Structure 1
Amino acid sequence: MKILITGATGLIGQELTNLLLQDNHIVHYLTTSPIKKDTRDNYFGFHWDIKNNQIDVNCLEGVEVIVHLAGASIAKKWTKSYKVELLESRTHSADLIFELLKSQPNQVKHFISASGTAIYPDNSTAIYDETSQVKDASFLGDLVVKWENSADQFKSLNLKITKVRTGIVFSNKGGALLEMVRPIKMFVGSGFGSGKQLQSWIHLKDVGNLYYFIIKNQTEGIINAVSPSPISNQELTKAIATQLHRPLFLPNIPRWVMKLILGDMHILLFNNKNIIPRRAQDLGFQFQFPTAKAALKDLY
Structure 2
Amino acid sequence: MKSSNKHILLTGGTGLIGRNLTKQLISKGYEVSHLSRSPGHDPGVNTFLWDVEKGTIDARCIDGVDIIVHLAGAGIADKRWTDKRKKELIDSRTKSIGLIYQLIAKNPNKVNSVISASAIGYYSDRGDELLTEESTPNNDFMAKCCVEWEAAVDEGSKFNLRIVKFRTGVVLDNGGALAQLAVPVKLFVGSPIGNGKQWVPWIHWQDVIDMYLHAIENTDFTGVYNMVSPNPVTNKQLTQAVAKQLHKPLWAPNVPAFVLKLLMGEMSTVVLGSTKVSAQKIEDAGFKFKYPDIAPALKEIYE
TM-score (ref. length: structure 1)? 0.96
Between 1:110-119 and 1:121-130, the stretch displaced more is 121-130
- 1:10 aligned to which of 15, 21, 29: 15
Residue type of the partner of 2:193?
Answer: F
Question: How many angstroms does 1:79 deviate by?
Answer: 1.6
Q: Where do 1:50-199 residues align within 5 Å?
A: 50-76=52-78, 77-132=80-135, 134-172=136-174, 174-199=175-200
> What whole-Å deviation, never above 9, does each CA across 1:190-245 have from its counterpart, x for those lacking one?
11111011110111111011001011002210011000000000010010001001
Q: Does 1:25 align with 2:30?
A: yes
What's the offset of the Cα at 1:123?
2.3
- SS of the residue aligned with 1:40? coil
Which blocks of at least 5 consecutive residues in structure 1 are unaligned? none
**1:210 corresponds to:** 211
Distance 1:121 1:250 in 2: 28
1:128 Cα deviation after fit: 1.1
Q: Is the 8 A contact 2:67 2:216 kept in 1?
A: yes
Q: Which one-letter code corresponds to 1:54 in the other structure?
A: T
Question: What per-residue deviation string (whole Å, max 9, x for no partner) do you get for residues 120-167 of structure 1?
Answer: 1422332111222x1111100000000000001000111011111000
Tell me, what secondary structure is at the counterpart of 2:66? strand
- State the distance in 2 between where 1:165 and 1:121 align: 11
Which residue does the alignment assign to 1:296? Answer: 298
Query: What SS class does the counterpart of residue 76 from structure 2 fall into?
Result: coil
Q: Distance between the aligned counterparts of 2:42 and 2:210, measured in 1? A: 24
**In the alignment, which residue of structure 1 is the partner of 2:225?**
223
Distance 1:245 1:148 in 2: 41
Distance 2:41 2:183 in 1: 32
SS of 1:16's equivalent in the other structure is helix
Q: How far, CA to CA, are the matches of 1:226 and 1:69 in structure 2? A: 16
Query: What is the distance in 2 between the residues matched to 1:247 and 1:254?
Result: 19
Instruction: Give, in whole Å, the separation in 1 of the partners of 2:209 and 2:152.
Output: 22
Per-residue CA deviations over 1:155-187 (Å, capped at 9, x if unaligned) read 011101111100000001x21111101111111
Per-residue deviation, 1:58: 1.4
Say whether the 8 Å CA contact 1:241–1:248 is kept in structure 2. Answer: yes
Distance 1:75 1:119 in 2: 15
* Separation in 1, partners of 2:146, 2:194: 25
Please state whether the residue corresponding to 2:23 is helix, strand or coil: helix
* TM superposition score normalised by structure 2: 0.95
One-letter amino acid of the counterpart of residue 17, structure 2: I
Q: What amino acid is aligned across from residue 158 of structure 2 in structure 1?
A: S
Q: Provide the C-alpha distance between the structure 2 equivalents of 1:140 and 1:109, rounded to a whole number of angstroms.
A: 29
Equivalent residues of 1:38, 1:44 under 8 A apart? no
Alignment-mate amino acid for residue 116 of structure 1: A
Unpaired runs of at least 5, structure 2: 1-5
Question: For 1:6-53, what per-residue CA distance to the aligned partner results, in whole angstroms no more than 9, with x for missing partners?
Answer: 0001111112111101101000101101xx324523x21111111121
Tell me which of 36, 43, 57 is aligned to 1:40. Answer: 43
Quote the sequence identity (%): 42
SS class of match (1:272): coil
CA distance in 2, matches of 1:81, 1:187: 37
